[in-house]
Structure 1
Amino acid sequence: MISASNEYALECVINPQKGHLKVSGTIIIPATEESAFFILNRGLRWTKTVRRTASGYQSITAYKTDIVAVPKFYHGDLWTFDIQNSQQDEFVLEIEYSGQIHPPAKDSHMPAMGYIKRDFVELACYSAWYPVPFNMETNMSFELACEGPDDWTWEANGKLQNVEKNNGTAVWSWKQTKPVNDIVVLGLPKRDAHLDEESLFWGPRDLVGSHKVLDTSAREMKKLLEDWLGPRDTSDSVRFVITPRKMGGAYARTGLIVVGGGYSTDTILRKPVLQSMCHEICHDWFCKASVRTYDNWLDEALAEYCSIMITDDYLNEGFLESHVEKTMQLLEKQGNIPAIRSLTRDQEEAYAAYYFRGFLLLHEISEKIGRIEFRKMIGEFAQICAKNRDITTDMFLEFIEENSKTKIIDTAKNWLDFEGVGIPLSI
């Protein structure tokens, strides 16, 4: 794995009426001994692939390949450029492509997480609207200029630089200087948008308006998290973007939390809703484990554990104990679940393994060490996550065992290697 991050500079033109996307720009990637692989949506076609060198420009060909399987949560094909074995420190690719965002294949059973529609645009790595780096360092800094109708408003996971209007269109420009794992763009017509600078929520007015009742709780729980886990891994404010899609749940990107369909405001569901919101905020700390290895269980389990603990603190209604019992029941209903260590995020069983069994594993360690001591160590580890580029299971377990002076690694390995119904027997 390469330590330096990629740099993207993209200009995109989005036509919501036609569902069309056109992108041009530059990708700078660190030198590698391997060919570079990228994932691009099946509905997009390359129109320019040029390599820029110190001596000039060189046309290169993008080759579609099936040398390895593309994870199911990406809706795209795998492409490679023959750019290895160079004496240069980096490769500079100038690219252009255009087309429409195709949904996932029907037999993939995956939700459509990216689309360009007349009333809403949602683009992230899942739809592979930009060339998603596959076999190299996945983190990237970026500059993005997005041209669309001048009566639309937009959000992205970068700092807004400016908005320029010209002849019925507007160009919104963002910059992200820290390495992040995605480039996200969302937009909708201003006439339909909930635009309230005092609110944490953004999106269609008919979906977002009712979320005002959640604003205060979200802010207070965020403050509790910061008091426990320390500074977040971003200076950006937390924003919940509500999208009209019904499937696919939520994902968090550098303070930007994208939620399909929004949250229920029914008072009966207040506890799980607050915990779910808190879980996504937790990913501002826990987002450094690779999605291509089993280590990703750690990001999800830590976000689940911390959000449950904070919800328990906030409500003071025995939420932790009831959630442990409920999670155990949900896990057992899933039947035989493979070992966490054998799963990657795109596999169907990963959700139950990472969220349910992973949370219960952390709860087991907490009970073994003591809740107060374990919470203190989780707060310290959160800052390790915030300051490091990559986090692994071994890093976490070694940190906990060393600082707690308690033998927990064997217990954790027993859980991580357990395949079956529910949880393993204690050892």
Structure 2
Amino acid sequence: MKLDHLNLDVKINPEDSSITSIALINLSKIESKLSGILLNPDLLWEKVVAIHGNQEFQLEPVEIDVSENILYNVAKSWEFELPSELKNLDSLTVSFTYSGKIVDTTWNLNRITSTEVELADYALWYPYINQASFSFNLTLHAPEDWVWISNAYSKPCKQCFKWRNPNPQIGIVLVGYPENQAIQEKKRSILQGSNKNYNKFRSLEIEFNKIIQKQIDWLGSPLQENFSIVLVHREKGGSYVRGNLMIYPEVLPEEYFTKFSKNVITSWIHEYSHLWFNKSPTDNWHNWIDESLAEYSAYLMAKDHFGEEFFETIIKRRKEIVEEAGELPPINSINRSHEKSYILFYHWGALIHESIREKIGDKLMKQIIRDFAQKSLEKEQVETKDYVESVNLITKEDWEDFIYKKIFSPPEFKN
């Protein structure tokens, strides 16, 4: 079963944290049942109807065990048995009506409150199917004196807010703030969202803008431009990117704007790099290639902008993190839901690229990453073999055994 397109019509009341939604989902590759559909446990099904031709079939939800997945460990997983007329169809449309309240979710990431709204796939605020990506339309009924942001193209709408994104996304983001608490500097700033710490982040943005043009010169123009950093008023949960939006926590220690400002900017470059590196499957180990290349690209850009010493400090610290983690499994034995995936996909993965650069130099390494970035823009999905092909093409040597040995074996450093 594959989710091709989602039409989401949502009503949100920030005052009582409530959400009422109708999700009209276009599915393909239908089997005998709809299985593994995730939804926030605080949201309740009201009506689920399958639509085929001129007929409608009411479906009954049955809760099933959630597969182990730390990204969505708040989820309830649901299964819907299909009548014989709908089994094994090429395509099917299903309407899901549900409602409830979202006050907080795992990792303190998403919530609906009277002063802010932050919703992403982590909140499971729409029926979620674990797969690569899908296109979507979003219609929002919510306070009109708020500023609302989504990872899609805004469309005109009277007494509502509308967005459309024909480009496949791995999730839908919605962020909202009352107008008097929102950044109103769209014309001269890529910062959006909460305005509480706007002036502090503005200084980081100026430095960041100097770097991203260099990255475009290196990797080529990404498919999605008009990149924005959306500040959300929280300190936990970290940042994430969906489409051309980076969601970033604005509650940071003061030293992040001074002593550690280079590290913050480098983390922004990682997220920005996902405009190129976002086509690997998210449900298996091949996802390491997107995360590690976003991470390592950020290191190389930081090296160009901040200097060799800063780059060497990053590499040294990443090696320490991997070594301090103790026994680790091979990359190919896990997926992104594994508790050690961050260390392996981001840190160890970046060090794999560094081990190649050490042998071939900066010039060829950058050519390899550019070649893979262009391939990623052109293809619907990429895997590790596509990266190996880029390495072999640029170096005119066979690196397959070298790369796969590092992926198929636990991390180790030779003395």
TM-score of the pair, normalised by structure 2: 0.93
Equivalent-residue separation in structure 1 for 2:209 and 2:257 (angstroms): 19
Alignment-mate amino acid for residue 91 of structure 1: L
1:125-167 deviations in Å (ceiling 9; x for gaps) = 1110000113xx44111111111112211100000102433xx
Equivalent-residue separation in structure 2 for 1:245 and 1:46 (angstroms): 30
Q: Which residue of 2 aligns with 1:120?
A: 116
Q: Which residue of 2 aligns with 1:168?
A: none
User: Is the aligned partner of 1:215 residue 2:205?
Assistant: yes
1:149-194 deviations in Å (ceiling 9; x for gaps) = 12211100000102433xxxxx110000111111111101111112
Alignment-mate amino acid for residue 111 of structure 1: W
Alignment of 1:215-364 (within 5 A): 215-235=205-225, 237-261=226-250, 266-364=257-355
Query: What SS does the corresponding residue of 2:389 show, helix, strand or coil?
Result: helix
TM-score of the pair, normalised by structure 1: 0.90
Instruction: Name stretches of at least 5 consecutive residues in structure 2 with no aligned partner.
Output: none
**Shift in Å, 1:17:** 0.8
Equivalent-residue separation in structure 2 for 1:112 and 1:343 (angstroms): 25
1:276-295 deviations in Å (ceiling 9; x for gaps) = 11111001111111221111
Q: Which residue of 2 aligns with 1:148?
A: 142
Query: What SS does the corresponding residue of 1:257 show, helix, strand or coil?
Result: strand
Alignment-mate amino acid for residue 308 of structure 1: Y
The answer (yes or no) to whether the contact 1:305–1:362 under 8 Å persists in 2 is yes
Percentage of pairs with the same residue: 26
Query: What SS does the corresponding residue of 2:216 show, helix, strand or coil?
Result: helix
* Cα RMSD after superposing both structures: 2.0
The answer (yes or no) to whether the contact 1:208–1:262 under 8 Å persists in 2 is no
Alignment of 1:125-204 (within 5 A): 125-134=121-130, 137-165=131-159, 171-197=160-186, 198-204=188-194
Q: Which residue of 1 aligns with 2:78?
A: 79
Alignment-mate amino acid for residue 143 of structure 2: P
Alignment-mate amino acid for residue 157 of structure 1: N
Equivalent-residue separation in structure 2 for 1:270 and 1:72 (angstroms): 30
The answer (yes or no) to whether the contact 1:221–1:314 under 8 Å persists in 2 is yes
**Shift in Å, 1:398:** 2.9
User: Is the aligned partner of 1:95 residue 2:120?
Assistant: no
Change (3 A) 1:247 1:34: farther
1:85-129 deviations in Å (ceiling 9; x for gaps) = 64643111112100012645xxxxx51221111111111111100
The answer (yes or no) to whether the contact 1:50–1:60 under 8 Å persists in 2 is yes
Q: Which residue of 2 aligns with 1:44?
A: 43
Instruction: Name stretches of at least 5 consecutive residues in structure 1 with no aligned partner.
Output: 105-109, 166-170
| Segment of structure 1 superposing worse, 280-289 or 201-210 | 201-210
Q: Which residue of 2 aligns with 1:64?
A: 63
Number of positions where the alignment pairs a residue of Structure 1 with one of Structure 2: 408
Alignment-mate amino acid for residue 127 of structure 1: A
Equivalent-residue separation in structure 1 for 2:54 and 2:192 (angstroms): 47
Alignment-mate amino acid for residue 229 of structure 1: L
